[in-house]
Amino acid sequence: MDLLSIDSLSDAQIEELLDRSQLLFEDDRSDTKPVRTLAGRIVFNLFYESSTRTAMSFATATHRLGASALSLSVEHSSVKKGETLEDTARTLGAMRPDALVIRHRDNGAPATVAEIVDAPVINAGDGTNEHPTQALLDAATIRYRLGRIEGLKIAICGDIRHSRVARSNAKLLPRLGADVRLAGPPELMPSELPQVSVDEAIDGADVVMMLRVQRERLEEEFGDAPGEYLGRYGLTTDRLATAAPNAVVMHPGPMNRGIEIDSGVADDRERSLITLQVEMGVAMRMACLEMLLRETGA
């Protein structure tokens, strides 16, 4: 079994991941011993794009399960000598890792690797396509904090066009009964997804999830003057005041403070779940690794 997309998972598997990650999260917070359910296993990490949270989160999750995380330093790998992704996959597959985590700039790269490698492959973000473990940890964070997902109004705002986080969440959260509204600057909205204005999306929302403008994926510079984006599309205290009274704020990171989110909102200890998302991310990746290795009979 691979985790390439939210579509890779059945409803029962999603429920199991949400329950198990919450248990692991609570155990870890109450300082119980590390779970060692994957002692002696090896997990390969291949990050072809920059990462702070996701790469360290998978490595931490792997260690907490008693397995070893081995990271390929792509900058110093044979990719630089012109090796194809397929040949790299054959090479790494021959070392028989127990799981392989991959982030790549091309949509579908993890699926290509999964066809070659026998071990379970986890998509840690492919181009503008999907980032399933981020959506799963977002769902777990919402459920932990608000007690449910069913019936919640969730606004996802920002550069939806380039966001694999938005795409995975737009699949997962409605499956769990949420009403998801996507919004952003017209230039950064994909035509295939239904959309509203940022103000409409945030109005009465229980959860407001902000996304960064992914300038590295833009062919032409996005023409906003300094300070303009925050006023038009960003999350300010005033805009958050139009959401539901106890609305919570989320962001997958990395944040661009003062652009898509005001620092006062990002650092609001009552309402911002941004650090909780990171903490839950480790527990969710532990739950995913456990499930995939079990399903694969490893």
- What residue ranges bind ligand NCD (CB under 6 A)? 53-54, 125, 131, 134, 164-165, 212, 214, 252-253
Angle at 169 between CA 17 and CA 118, to 5 degrees: 55
Q: How far is the CB of 45 from ligand NCD (least distance, A)?
A: 13
Decide whether 54 or 88 has the Cβ nearer to ligand NCD. Answer: 54
Give the count of beta carbons closer than 10 Å to the beta carbon of residue 16.
15
Q: Which is nearer to ligand NCD, 97 or 125 (CB)?
A: 125
For the bound state, the minimum distance from the C-beta of residue 294 to ligand NCD, rounded and expressed in Å, comes to 25
| Min CB(39)–ligand NCD separation in Å | 28
Among residues 41 and 173, whose Cβ is nearest to ligand NCD? Answer: 173
Which amino acid, residue 229? Y
Contact 40, 66 (CB under 8 A): yes
Report the nearest approach of ligand NCD to the CB of residue 214 (Å): 6
Which CB sits closer to ligand NCD, 41 or 212? 212
Place of tokens 């769902």: 139
Q: Are 261 and 210 in contact (CB under 8 A)?
A: yes
Q: How far is the CB of 125 from ligand NCD (least distance, A)?
A: 5
Nearest alpha carbon to residue 21 among 138, 124, 130, 171: 138
Q: By C-beta, is 64 or 131 nearer to ligand NCD?
A: 131
Residue among 41 and 252 whose Cβ is closer to ligand NCD: 252
Output the smallest distance, CB 241 to ligand NCD, in A.
Answer: 25
Q: How far apart are CA 234 and CA 129, in angstroms?
A: 23
